[in-house]
């Protein structure tokens, strides 16, 4: 409680200065955009989150419209085939294309069904999330194993992992993704998702390995000795004593790494994986709402990463009980 001794400084002028700077920034941006005469069309953006899609409902056999019953805005249509099979479909009342008693051939449209569908931004977000999620889990496994190898007594393991880490950290992720897709992917006939997730996992794994190594080495030697002196073998001591303590300590840098991974995953759009970034690009080609879409995409990344850091913050406090 060192702060309690100090007099609380006057915050108001600094708050005012902060507000002034933010307002100036906003005004400057606004002015600059005005100058280039950009027509904002924010109203076009929501449809890329979700939209109402129309889907034709077709009859799967030759048959007859037996009965049409209205159910609010929907109409439920009972169809009977020539063999006497019946089936009921539901379409929008105002998009009904048949009337009772009509004879229909297989594939004729009975009417249209309107439903909420997720737009490309949401699908892109989903792709980004699952790619990052799977890559994170793999990276954690890779990083844990290679981090342990990195400090093993075995020279071969140590050198191999050192080479791996050196190679990954010394080359750009974009290049690694190209290599994974165009070289390794071609040789082993991998699809783009496997290549993309693999490249991300191997990339992040190298950083996780270094974090794990540092975390394990930060645990005092006495912990390992105490565990061994009780008769535990190396694996038991690692599993019960060292790793739990190390993991708690490396949670913040690890979370930072996974947040980076979410952002880095935007690079897989170069091998035509339709993640959030690629969806944004595709939307722009059809709407030209460049500014709105990129700002929206940025905001979506920001939301995801801030939720994650809040979660980690919460976990850190939960774990702090034994300190």
Partner 1 sequence: MIKATNVVKIFTGRGVPVRAVDGVSAHIGKGEVVVVIGPSGSGKSTFLRCINGLEAFDEGHIFIDGVDLAGRKTDLNALRAEVGMVFQQFNLFPHKTVLENVTLAQRVVRKRSRQDAEIKARTLLKKVGIAEKESEYPSRLSGGQQQRVAIARALAMDPKVMLFDEPTSALDPEMVGEVLDVMKQLAREGMTMCVVTHEMGFAREVADRVLFMDEGKLVEEGTPEHFFTIPTEERTRLFLSQVL
Least distance (Å) between residue 248 CB and partner 1: 7
Q: How far is CA 5 from CA 9, 10, 12, 131, in A?
A: 12, 15, 20, 49
DSSP H helical ranges for the chain: 12-35, 120-150, 155-169, 173-178, 185-187, 192-217, 221-229, 234-237, 243-264, 276-287, 290-319
Judged by CB under 8 A, the stretch of 28-36, 236-244, 282-290, 305-313 that binds partner 1 is 236-244
- 230 is an interface residue for partner 1 by CB under 8 A: yes
Question: Do residues 98 and 77 lie in contact, with contact meaning Cβ atoms separated by under 8 Å?
Answer: yes
* CB-facing half-sphere around the CA of 5: CA atoms within 13 A: 2
Under the binding rule (CB under 8 A), the answer on residue 223 touching partner 1 is yes
**Least distance from C-beta 283 to partner 1, angstroms?**
48
316 binds partner 1 (CB under 8 A): no
**Which listed range, 109-117, 177-185, 197-205, 229-237, lies at the site for partner 1 (CB under 8 A)?**
229-237
Minimum CB distance to partner 1, residue 246 (Å): 10
Please classify residue 3 by burial: count the beta carbons closer than 10 Å to its beta carbon, then call 0-12 exposed, 13-18 middle and 19+ buried: exposed
Is 39 or 320 the residue whose CB approaches partner 1 more closely? 320
Question: Is 225 a binder of partner 1 (CB under 8 A)?
Answer: yes
Single out the residue of 240, 299, 310, 313 in contact with partner 1 (rule: CB under 8 A). 240
C-alpha 15, offset from chain centre: 35
Q: Does 218 bind partner 1 (CB under 8 A)?
A: no
Using CA atoms, how far residue 156 sits from 5, 166, 200, in Å, is: 56, 15, 25
- Contact with partner 1 (CB under 8 A): which of 123, 133, 158, 244? 244
What's the closest the beta carbon of residue 191 comes to partner 1, in angstroms? 42
- The residues that touch partner 1, with contacts defined as CB under 8 A, are 220, 222-223, 225-233, 236, 240-241, 244-245, 248, 321-323
């Amino acid at each position: 409680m060192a702060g309690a001794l100090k007099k609380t400084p006057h915050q108001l002028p600094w708050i005012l200065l902060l507000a002034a700077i933010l307002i100036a920034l906003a005004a400057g941006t606004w002015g600059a955009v005005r100058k280039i005469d950009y027509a904002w069309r924010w109203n076009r953006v929501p449809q890329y989150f979700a939209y109402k899609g129309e889907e034709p409902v077709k009859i799967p056999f030759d048959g007859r419209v037996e009965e049409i019953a209205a159910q609010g805005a929907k109409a439920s249509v009972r169809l009977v085939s020539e063999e006497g099979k019946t089936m009921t479909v539901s379409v929008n009342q105002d998009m009904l294309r048949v009337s009772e008693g009509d004879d229909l051939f297989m594939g004729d449209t009975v009417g249209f069904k309107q439903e909420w569908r997720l737009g490309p931004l949401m699908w892109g977000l989903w792709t980004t999330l699952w790619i990052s999620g799977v890559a994170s889990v793999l990276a954690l496994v890779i990083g844990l194993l290679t981090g342990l190898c990195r400090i093993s007594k075995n020279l071969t393991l140590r050198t191999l992992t050192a080479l791996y880490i050196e190679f990954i950290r010394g080359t750009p992720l974009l290049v690694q993704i190209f290599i994974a897709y165009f070289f390794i992917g071609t040789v082993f006939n991998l699809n783009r998702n496997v290549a993309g997730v693999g490249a991300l996992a191997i990339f992040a794994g190298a950083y996780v390995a270094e974090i794990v190594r540092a975390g394990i080495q930060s645990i005092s030697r006495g912990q390992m000795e105490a565990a061994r002196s009780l008769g535990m073998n190396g694996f038991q001591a690692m599993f019960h004593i060292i790793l739990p303590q190390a993991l708690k300590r490396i949670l913040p840098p690890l979370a930072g790494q996974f947040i980076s991974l979410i952002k880095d995953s935007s690079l897989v759009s170069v091998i035509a994986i339709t993640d959030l970034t690629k969806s944004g690009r595709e939307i722009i080609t059809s709407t030209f709402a460049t500014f709105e879409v990129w700002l929206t995409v940025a905001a979506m990344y920001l939301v995801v990463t801030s939720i994650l850091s809040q979660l980690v913050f919460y976990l850190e406090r939960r774990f702090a009980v034994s300190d």
